[in-house]
């Protein structure tokens, strides 16, 4: 009774109003007419309650399926806690803390309303240019001997190889490169040579360095930036302590947020300084990998420029974290019926965490009764909302090869960030 919220308890049918004792019991005659004030309880984890709700929801669903399809046996698996489902040895994919089953890794940068430039450096590129995947669709040209490299890449099928002898990527002059507000420049870099102090970003309007944007490696292999406004006022960096490693992929990000200019290496802020004014120019070409001074020797992948501060001060992050081609199979454990069965059905709790997953394409469910011949569920029916954003999916009665080893299997495909499915539980009828 301790979970009741209120000041009085009406004993149904007695006409008496009684109080609750210290241990929650109902005091009838002795408590009649009295008012009880409940003590305040500390907030505790709701994990157990959510587990109970999951269990009850799945039990109710499989009971309905049992009646509908005349399948008397049932089993449920809930994924709310890791302890409830052990994938060891039965699947080629790992568990995610949020119930999404995926292959760990990093994904390609996404295009959104803040993206000014996005270059994946993949199969759509030519020998002399790449496609800007942002909505601006700019022509991004390769200079020198810059070319695609399929042997060394961070994400996708290729990266851009720069040999250090004058290679670069150039973008036409644009007002987008006159950084007067929040912005982010980021990419993955792989330096084969750290001794040449190469330029990574360079934009100079005139030879007197007015409106210059310069990011390079200094003599100690640290990222260094020098930004000048139209009055040739120079912004000096504070001490940059994060050392790079040759022949290793590093994520680099330059972020302006308000009056703060920050550098991030591999998701960790390594430098910050106060800045004002406009940097860069609307009348100068923007170069990556070279253009002025010493050119970069190495590879570049996933180049993105944005008109917002994607990473806030003092925080750490995993650079473009997500699942890379997150395909895989979750396999349920054995259920043994009293006699061989030939029909199986079930239910699934699914949340479209990102995008809309198409059942039967992006997420597929299979059944077996002999643990060898797998048959996809005969149908997927949306039975309504189980909880906020979580759908109850009823799986049609499916004819399978006769056997006494009944299992379910979930196959994931296309889980790359634009589509992300969380599975909270599976019920089985057989």
Consecutive sets of 10 residues in the chain, 430 residues long: mean pLDDT of each? Answer: 37 39 43 45 58 80 91 82 36 35 61 90 82 88 88 86 85 84 88 69 56 62 65 58 77 87 85 76 79 76 91 80 54 88 93 82 92 94 85 95 93 67 86
Domains identified in the chain and CATH numbers: 1-41 (no CATH), 47-104+324-429 (2.60.120.260), 115-306 (2.60.120.200)
Measure the CA dihedral 35/40/44/47, to 10°: 20
CA atoms of 236 and 67, how far apart (whole Å): 74
Amino acid 16: pLDDT: 38
Q: Which residues pair with 348 in a beta bridge?
A: 393, 426
DSSP 237: P
Amino acid 85: pLDDT: 37
CA atoms of 294 and 292, how far apart (whole Å): 7
Cα angle for residues 167, 214, 116 (degrees, 5° grid): 80
Handedness of CA 255, 259, 261, 266 (dihedral sign): negative
Q: Which of 335, 340, 343, 334 is nearest to 71 (CA)?
A: 343
Predicted TM-score (pTM) of the model is 0.53
Amino acid 392: pLDDT: 92
The beta strand positions in 144-222, using DSSP E, are: 147-149, 159-163, 168-171, 183-191, 199-203, 213-217
Buried b (16+ CB within 10 A) or exposed e, 113-129: ebbbbbbbbbeebeeee
- What is the greatest pairwise CA distance in the chain? 96
Amino acid 171: pLDDT: 86
């Amino acid at each position: 009774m301790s979970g009741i919220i209120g000041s009085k308890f009406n004993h149904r049918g007695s006409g008496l109003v009684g109080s609750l004792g210290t241990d929650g019991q109902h005091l009838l005659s002795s408590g009649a007419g009295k008012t009880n004030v409940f003590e305040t309880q500390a907030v505790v984890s709701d994990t157990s309650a959510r587990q109970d709700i999951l269990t009850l929801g799945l039990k109710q669903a499989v009971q309905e399926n049992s009646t509908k399809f005349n399948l008397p046996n049932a089993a449920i698996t809930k994924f709310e806690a890791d302890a409830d489902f052990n994938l060891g040895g039965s699947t080629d994919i790992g568990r995610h803390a949020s119930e999404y089953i995926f292959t760990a890794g990093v994904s390609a940068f996404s295009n959104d309303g803040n993206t000014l430039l996005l270059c994946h450096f993949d199969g759509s590129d030519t020998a002399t240019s790449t496609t800007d995947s942002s909505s601006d669709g700019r022509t991004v040209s390769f200079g020198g001997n810059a070319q695609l490299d399929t042997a060394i890449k961070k994400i996708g099928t290729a990266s851009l190889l720069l040999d250090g002898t004058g290679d670069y990527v150039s973008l036409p002059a644009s007002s987008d490169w006159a950084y007067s507000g929040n912005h982010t420049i980021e990419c993955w870099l792989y330096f084969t040579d750290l001794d040449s102090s190469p330029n990574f970003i360079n934009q100079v309007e005139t030879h007197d360095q007015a409106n210059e944007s310069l990011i390079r490696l200094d003599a100690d292999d640290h990222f260094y930036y020098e930004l000048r406004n139209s009055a040739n006022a120079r912004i000096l960096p504070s001490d940059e302590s994060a050392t790079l490693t040759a022949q290793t992929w590093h994520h680099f990000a330059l972020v302006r947020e308000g009056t703060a200019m920050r550098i991030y290496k591999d998701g960790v802020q390594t430098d910050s300084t106060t800045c004002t004014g406009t940097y860069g120019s609307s009348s100068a070409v923007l170069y990556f990998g070279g253009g002025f001074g010493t050119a970069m020797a190495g590879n570049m992948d996933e180049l993105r420029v944005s008109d917002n501060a994607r990473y806030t001060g003092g925080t750490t992050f995993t650079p473009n974290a997500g699942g890379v081609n997150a395909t895989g199979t979750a396999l349920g454990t054995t259920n043994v019926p009293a006699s061989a069965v030939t029909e199986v059905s079930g239910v699934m709790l699914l949340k479209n965490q990102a995008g809309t997953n198409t059942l039967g394409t992006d997420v597929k469910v299979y059944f077996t009764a002999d643990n060898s011949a797998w048959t996809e569920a005969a149908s997927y029916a949306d039975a309504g909302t189980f909880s906020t954003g979580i759908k109850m999916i009823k799986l049609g009665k499916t004819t399978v090869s006769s056997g006494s080893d009944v299992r379910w299997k979930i196959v994931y495909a296309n889980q790359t960030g634009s589509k992300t499915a969380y599975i909270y539980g599976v019920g089985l009828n057989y």
